[in-house]
Structures are given as C-alpha cells and as structure tokens.
A and B are shown apart, each in its own frame.
Chain A
Amino acid sequence: NAGVMQNPRHLVRRRGQEARLRCSPMKGHSHVYWYRQLPEEGLKFMVYLQKENIIDESGMPKERFSAEFPKEGPSILRIQQVVRGDSAAYFCASSDTRDTQYFGPGTRLLVL
C-alpha cells in the first residue's frame, strides 16, 4: 500500500512563474490537506479538500494560491506569480477519516 505521494520533490522557479505541486493520497483516503513549512518552523495548515470540494481554505493566502482535488487524479496546489517568500516545503497529508493524517515526503520549492 503506497503512502502519500508528492511530486515533484524539488521545484525551482523564478519570480513570477507558476508552481504546481501534486499530491496523490493513500489508497482509500478521500481527505487531503496541504501544509506549508518555513525553515526552522512547524507546519502551518493551508487547506482541506475532499473530492471536488474545498472544505476549509482558511490557511491559504488570499491571492495567488489555489487548490483543487478533482474527481480523478491528484490534488493540485497552484501558486501563481511566485515570490521569494513562497520558498518553503509544502506537505500534503491524507486521511480516511478526520483522525490520523498521513504525510507525504513534501515538495521543496525554491524561488530564485
């Protein structure tokens, strides 16, 4: 049973470009969460999705960030017009209930 998969593992973008981060939840999991981790800090909640629905996006910046979890395929976190401050590790987690969340290996985004 494969765990949560994220790709790419590392992503380098220049300022102004778009970043697309993908997350495939564990088999059977319908709840997906995105978190961001800045250097030397803990993870901060961004958004919670179920299939085709955004349940809670209270942790998402108001502009440039969006997330989706389509009926088919992985969940996508999209960051438009990236800035240096977006450099961070982005983690996806999934769960089958609202209990234990299982985390992926993360995508490390570096904005030049």
Chain B
Amino acid sequence: SQQGEEDPQALSIQEGENATMNCSYKTSINNLQWYRQNSGRGLVHLILIRSNEREKHSGRLRVTLDTSKKSSSLLITASRAADTASYFCATVAIRSNDYKLSFGAGTTVTVRA
C-alpha cells in the first residue's frame, strides 16, 4: 500500500491564488519530500523536510510537517500557469533503509490564466 496519500486528488485555481495540498502517511518517517511532475515529464525535487522540522520555505513554497498527525502540507503562493503540474509527496520510513521513497498518487493542480 502507498505510504503517502495526497489530498485533494485534483485542484483548479485562478492564477495569483494560493494552492494548498496535503499529504498523510502511515508509518514514522525520517523525512518527507515533495516533487513536481509536469505532464509526461520526470520529477523535479521541490523540498525536503526532516522529521525534526516543522516548517520549511523555498521561494513561493511553504511546507509544514506534523509528525503527531502524520501529515504534511504544501502551499504554493501566488500561483502561476507554470505551476500546473502533479505534485507528489514521498516519504522515507524510519524503519526502512533510508533511501526507499514511497510516493502517493499525487495532486493534479491546474492554474487557470
């Protein structure tokens, strides 16, 4: 079964609005990572947050991590058309070897011009 599950499955917003998506996972983790995938392309690493961190920023991205609820959120502020993509969270479980990424099914974000 998938370790990370994103919510919502799909999100449509107007350019300039913020986009928020959530990720829930089942087992304790070493770290959680967010990736972006444009249609038909590879994955681009966005941000990594470790289990002892609560929040992290990178440009227009803000990631939070709540290990007590086993959840994370990704916020994209001031969205642009180029942000249209699928976003995946991936976790590294604390009991596995620290390389195996477990991905959710992703959130598909559409930014309307």
Contacts and interface: CB of A to CB of B under 8 A. Distances in A.
A56 B103 contact: no
Contacts, number: 60
A43 B103 contact: yes
A40 B2 CA distance: 13
B68 to A, nearest CB: 24
Residue in B43, B45, B100, B102 with the greatest tally of chain A CB atoms within 10 Å = B43
Nearest to A104: B42
A45 B102 contact: yes
B33 interface: yes
Contacts of A14: none
Nearest to A102: B45
Contact of A91 (B4, B42, B106): B42
B99 A42 contact: no
B101 to A, nearest CB: 6
Contacts of A101: 45, 99, 101
A106 B42 CA distance: 6
Nearest to A56: B97
Interface residues of A, number: 28
A33 interface: yes
A53 B75 CA distance: 39
A14 B4 CA distance: 34
A103 B35 contact: yes
A43 to B, nearest CB: 4
B99 A33 contact: yes
B45 A98 contact: no
A48 B99 contact: yes
A105 interface: yes
Given A100-B33, A103-B35, A105-B42, A43 B101 contact: yes
Given A100-B33, A100-B45, A103-B35, A43 B88 contact: yes
Interface of A: 4, 6, 31, 33, 35, 40-45, 48, 55-56, 59, 91, 93, 95, 98-106, 108
Interface of B: 2, 4, 33, 35, 40-45, 48, 88, 90, 97-106
5 contacts: A56-B99, A59-B100, A98-B98, A99-B48, A108-B40
